Structure 1
Amino acid sequence: MGRPALEVADIFRTHGPLWRKQQAGHLSLGQLKVMSAIEQCRTATL
């Protein structure tokens, strides 16, 4: 049995809110939108 697949979205969902808070004022609107879109993505197989 292999390790479960780890996706960027999983990391963003887990650590994104704190990271965004720590980086407040240093992220562009575009970067925030991309992070949000990745977090909302359900799976890589879509």
Structure 2
Amino acid sequence: MRASIEVADIFRTAGPAYRAAHAGHLTLQQLKVMSAIEHCRTAALGGHVEACEDCGQWRIAY
């Protein structure tokens, strides 16, 4: 079961303002980690199709 709010949700919402407020004080590694977290489980990083062998129902999982 997915939590109602995740770190990625916070980063997606507040990340741009945080980066702007701390411009010049965040390392490249910190910026890369923030970006990776923001893109986690999204179409931006790709996904795969999960299919049920019994009923044929399928869904895209990220």
TM over 0.5: yes
Structure 2: runs of 5+ lacking an equivalent: 43-62
Structure 1: runs of 5+ lacking an equivalent: none
Question: 2:13 corresponds to which residue?
Answer: 14
| TM superposition score normalised by structure 2 | 0.60
CA offset at residue 42 of structure 1?
A: 1.5
| TM superposition score normalised by structure 1 | 0.80
User: Which 4+ residue blocks in structure 1 deviate beyond 6 angstroms?
Assistant: none
Q: How many residues are aligned here? A: 40
Higher strand share: 2
Q: Which has the higher contact order (CA 8 A, sep 6+)?
A: 1
Percent sequence identity over aligned pairs: 70
Higher helix share: 1
